[in-house]
Amino acid sequence: MGQVVHTLPEGRPVLGVTSLGDEVFLLRLKERDQLEVYDVITYRFVRYITAPNIRGFADMTSCEHCRCLYISACYGMCIHRVDVQGATTQWPVNDEPHGLSVTKAHNVLVTCRIVRKIKEFNSHGALLHEMTLPDDVINPWHAIQLTSGQYVVCHGDVGDAVHRVGVTSADCTHIVHSHGGQRGSDTGQYYVPCHLAVDDNEFVFVVDVVNRRVTLLSRSLDYIRQVVSLDTLKWLPCRLHLDIHRRRLYVVDNEYKDDWTAGRVVVFSV
């Protein structure tokens, strides 16, 4: 099991967490000062960043190469690029964006849940590729490209029959490996697996919202162990970020009472 090393402050719901250089960034559901910045070593609060005109946050990721953050905004169907000083630009996705990740080529992968597509953009918003996921991948939340060119994808919403993690072919036409299936709470089951992280060995961390846990899978999606359990969480986990260099797993832990009402981030040593 991962060991808790720190808990970042409770406040408004957290919709994304990532690190960049020597700082950790939290994305909150707020009118302004949406981004809270903390020191990556001491976890001391450093500053706020306001990203104006961003509504309907869905996810956030970062790119060390481009020295910027990317935020997906559902209402505007767009991606916002925020540099570390707070300057913001945006580009349209033309579908509702959800999960975000950055490829080895420093491009942005956007998972569009409703239309079941993965769209790849360069760092300035030019569309490079658009791929439709297989028919049995319903409500995909998040996708990450592997070094093989394949994609690991998690999918399944509350009312869906199938909740699983799958590795697709490079062209996204079929599933190569999978873990999960019918929703449930057993070791080989999920109930809303909605976010992923991949380490430098391409082992996969999966956040399982309703079961309140994080599972570790091999690169071929064989079960390894549970790394975060409900005993270490207060509410519902819904986002992940893995700092590979420091072996820190950031888990967003949000309270839900008919809506998201509060949130925090729990930091684990893995």
Q: What global pTM score does this model have?
A: 0.96
Mean pLDDT calculated for residue range 250-260: 95
Q: Is 232 helix (H, G, I), strand (E, B) or coil?
A: helix
Interatomic CA distance for residues 62 and 200, integer angstroms:
16
- Each residue of 6-26: pLDDT tens digit? 999 999 999 999 999 999 999
Interatomic CA distance for residues 241 and 252, integer angstroms:
9
All residues at 6 or more sequence positions from 184 whose CB lies less than 8 Å from its CB, including other chains: 190, 191
- Each residue of 157-177: pLDDT tens digit? 999 999 999 999 999 999 999
Work out the mean pLDDT of the chain and round it to a whole number.
96
Interatomic CA distance for residues 258 and 7, integer angstroms:
25
Residue with tokens 């970042």: 8
Structure tokens given for 180: 């999960």
- Each residue of 229-248: pLDDT tens digit? 999 999 999 999 999 999 99
Return the pLDDT at 84.
84
- Each residue of 44-96: pLDDT tens digit? 999 999 887 677 899 999 999 999 999 999 988 999 999 988 889 999 999 99
Interatomic CA distance for residues 31 and 218, integer angstroms:
40
The count of other CB atoms within 10 Å of the CB of residue 87 is 11
Amino acid at 204: V
Query: Would the pLDDT of 220 be above 90?
Result: yes
- 1 confidence band (pLDDT: 50, 70, 90): confident
Return the pLDDT at 54.
72
Kindly report the CA angle at 183 between 56 and 97, in degrees rounded to 5? 20
Return the pLDDT at 33.
84
Mean pLDDT calculated for residue range 183-205: 97
Interatomic CA distance for residues 36 and 17, integer angstroms:
10
Return the pLDDT at 101.
98
Return the pLDDT at 32.
85
Interatomic CA distance for residues 155 and 226, integer angstroms:
19
The domains located in the chain, with CATH, are: 3-269 (2.120.10.30)
Interatomic CA distance for residues 156 and 160, integer angstroms:
6
Amino acid at 151: Y
